[in-house]
Amino acid sequence: AAGVIQSPRHLIKEKRETATLKCYPIPRHDTVYWYQQGPGQDPQFLISFYEKMQSDKGSIPDRFSAQQFSDYHSELNMSSLELGDSALYFCASTPRGLAGPSTDTQYFGPGTRLTVL
Amino acid sequence: EDKVVQSPLSLVVHEGDTVTLNCSYEVTNFRSLLWYKQEKKAPTFLFMLTSSGIEKKSGRLSSILDKKELFSILNITATQTGDSAVYLCAVPHQGAQKLVFGQGTRLTINP
């Protein structure tokens, strides 16, 4: 079965550079979530999109922005990178439908490991 | 604020042992609780629980929810080295669906 696709899988950047992470949800999934997971920590919610509109916002720095496109893929743009941005960034998707148990299960992509030097 | 607490944070057992992982939660308008297994990559979905007292089972793994006492347990019987992973418990935040995760239990199975 098709899974969530993320690219790139690994990314190394210098401080103050910019990075763009991409996420392609499972087909027929229209809701996308971004999470950041630091070493030894649980995933922290950043932002989500439903039908190309931002649906919720978590602890996402102002230096980061994201959007969802007409084909439902999403991109997370990160500017002025800091050392503390080094983490695993996961994208997850859920099927179409109203919020409820049928759409609660989020399927995670393999993640992008970002290292800021 | 929604909160998920897992225990223990770390557990080391021998192959063949049975383990029980705990997850307690405080969430407004509870809807469901999810268990994920995370090895050195993305969290992999294990179970979603919505009703109290109904056990979900998949092979050697099983899980049950107690909505009165606000907790869930994940049992793994006859553990194997491949069960070594971090097990995450999560609940959807009210309305918005974002997942609030517990700290995870790092399970290590020694041969």
The first and second tokens of residue A107, run together, are 């399927």
Rounded Cα distance between B87 and B10, Å, is 10
**Interchain pair A109, B98: CB under 8 A:** no
Q: Are A64 and A78 in contact (CB under 8 A)?
A: yes
Q: Distance from B78 to chain A by nearest Cα, in Å?
A: 27
- Residue A100: pLDDT band (50, 70, 90) is low
Tell me phi and psi for residue A101, to 5 degrees. -55, -35
Residue B43 CA neighbour count, 13 Å, CB half: 33
Helix (H) or strand (E) holding A75: strand A74-78
Task: Please provide the average confidence, as pLDDT, over all residues in chain A.
Answer: 92
Return the pLDDT at A102. Answer: 62
Return the pLDDT at A51. Answer: 84
Distance (Å) of CA B66 to CA A74, B9, B24, B52: 36, 21, 9, 5
Mutation for B interface: A41, A104, A112, most B CBs within 10 A: A104
**Interchain pair A33, B103: CB under 8 A:** no
pLDDT at A90 exceeding the cut of 90 = yes
pLDDT at A68 exceeding the cut of 90 = yes
**Interchain pair B32, A111: CB under 8 A:** no
**Interchain pair A108, B31: CB under 8 A:** no
- Per-residue pLDDT 10s for chain B (111 aa) are 789 999 999 999 999 999 999 999 998 888 899 999 999 888 999 999 998 888 999 999 999 999 899 999 999 999 999 999 999 999 988 766 789 999 999 999 999
Please give the average per-residue pLDDT across A41-58, as a whole number. Answer: 91
- Residue A52: pLDDT band (50, 70, 90) is confident
Q: Distance from B106 to chain A by nearest Cα, in Å?
A: 10
Nearest CA in chain A to B10: A40
Interface of B with A in 69-108 (CB under 8 A): 88, 92-93, 95-104
Residue A56 CA neighbour count, 13 Å, CB half: 19
Please give the average per-residue pLDDT across A79-104, as a whole number. Answer: 85
Please give the average per-residue pLDDT across A93-109, as a whole number. Answer: 78
Query: Which of A35, A48, A104 lies nearest to residue B31, judging by beta carbons?
Result: A104
**C-alpha closest to that of A47 among A63, A58, A62, A61:** A58
Query: Which of A43, A100, A103 lies nearest to residue B101, judging by beta carbons?
Result: A43
Q: What percent of chain A has pLDDT over 70?
A: 93
**C-alpha closest to that of B86 among B68, B104, B60, B65:** B104
Nearest CA in chain A to B91: A104
Please write down the long-range contacts of B45-53, taking CB distance under 8 Å and 24 or more positions apart. Answer: B45/A105, B45/A106, B45/A107, B45/A108, B46/B74, B46/B87, B47/B74, B48/A101, B48/A104, B48/A105, B50/A101
Return the pLDDT at B56. Answer: 94
**Residue in the structure block whose two tokens are 């030097």:** A117
How does pLDDT run across A15-46, given as a tens digit for each residue? 999 999 999 999 988 889 999 999 889 999 99
Residue B58 sits at the chain A interface (C-beta within 8 Å)? no
